[in-house]
Amino acid sequence: MDLPATVLVHNSTIGMKGEEGALLQIADRFYEVNISFGSSTHRVMLPIDQTVIIFKDAEENFVPDIEIER
């Protein structure tokens, strides 16, 4: 995972519903994210257990070159 990464942040405690931000670091119990509030950017520490982070860029489709026997 390359950081910083553009993410969508969901956190009900501070009323975030898909706010775009930049994930800077994943610490012991917190996500460190830069979020824009109005015309200013603020660094926010969000608790991992109360926050959903969705990476804005979708994953590339992975098609294996081998056949898997089931």
Over the stretch 30-58, which tens digit does the pLDDT of each residue have? 999 999 988 999 999 999 999 999 999 88
Residue 7, pLDDT > 90, answer yes
Cα torsion 57, 10, 26, 7 to 10°: value is 20
In this prediction the pTM is 0.77
Return the pLDDT at 3. 87
Q: What is the C-alpha to C-alpha distance for residues 16 and 2, in angstroms, rounded to an integer?
A: 23
- Which one, of 61, 50, 49, 52, lies nearest residue 23 by Cα? 52
Report yes or no: 55 and 5 within 8 Å, Cβ to Cβ: yes
**Which residues lie closer than 8 Å to 66 by C-beta, 6 or more apart?**
none
